[in-house]
Amino acid sequence: MTLLLASSWGDMDPYFGKWREMLVRQPGGIEVRLYPDELGDVADITAALVWDPPPGLLAGLPNLKLIQSLGMGVDHIFRHDDLPAGVPVARLVDPDLVTRMSEYCVHSVLHYHRDADRYDRDQAAKRWNPVSYPAASTRRVGIMGVGAIGADTAGKLKQLGFDVAGWSRTPKDLPGVVGFHGGEGFAGFMQRSEFVVCLLPLTAETEGILDAGAFDLMPFGGGIINAARGGHVVDADLIAALDSGKLGFAKLDVFREEPLPKDHPFWSHPKIRITPHNAGITNPVTAAAEVAENYRRAMRGEPPSNIVDPARGY
């Protein structure tokens, strides 16, 4: 019984090496192989820990009992239409990752709330120009997706005094957070949200959800922070909304193509800030125990924790 670590991304060996180190320390020990150099006899592989797995890899593992995502998102797995039938797919829900993601989102909201870009420009121009800013209680933040990360982000922003709302597929009740849900709640949510933080799973229903129609609903001069998936944003619509002044800013950690191509207009747009999909990177030191427990569950024929519903995509 062997667990395979695999990704189509380049230069993953140092990261995967740390995963191997932590997994072999788990109770009972786990035999770990790294793709592609250690693939060996595929019949030995009973579990795969993956991020954006190479096309066809999972379908070629005849004794697979578990597909474990290296992160909370699973769209990178379900984009393959040849997944082995009946093999459960599990998300990785690690408190450390939740904290790192909410930290990124709170920092981004505070950056624009305190108009940090203005002071970067002033410093470059050697210009002393103190400007007042509104109280956090007057700023309306909307969280798209109020699962573990969204709920943590909302709670931290509430502690700082922001007026926070959440939007989700089904009703969610978070203390002190205004709730919107479903298609009927979307317009009201966007209309009241000066800052929109996207933390949605990427599914057929959420693909391209941040488009011209959504931006038109937002307050003039507002902006988006996307730490979910690049597929949520219609790139051309975002650029048009920023160029027209309808939106004042965008902070983007994720993109439709990664790494972001050097000729993409996002790189040079004055109202866009880019980070390289590192809002939250799963830490093997804190997350290995969950992976090991799911591995043991799968080997016993039990369902893993945080199992994904393929019909919903999360």
Active site residues: 229, 277
| Rounded-to-integer distance, Cα 75 and Cα 206, Å | 11
Which of 290, 288, 307, 296 is CA-nearest to residue 87?
Answer: 307
Do β-strands 178-181 and 66-69 pair in parallel, antiparallel, or remain unpaired? unpaired
Backbone angles phi, psi at 205, to 5 degrees: -75, -30
Check if the beta carbon of residue 229 is closer than 8 Å to that of residue 75.
yes
Q: In 10 A of CB 129, how many CB atoms?
A: 9
Question: CA dihedral defined by 245, 249, 252, 256, rounded to 10 degrees?
Answer: 0
Nearby residues of 45 by Cβ (< 8 Å), 6 or more positions away: 2, 3, 4, 33, 61, 63, 64
Nearest to 292 by CA among 15, 2, 26: 26
CB-facing half-sphere around the CA of 87: CA atoms within 13 A: 24
Burial of 14 from C-beta contacts in 10 A (0-12 / 13-18 / 19+): exposed
C-alpha span between 156 and 199 (Å, rounded): 15
Spatial contact of 297 and 304, defined as CB atoms under 8 Å apart: yes
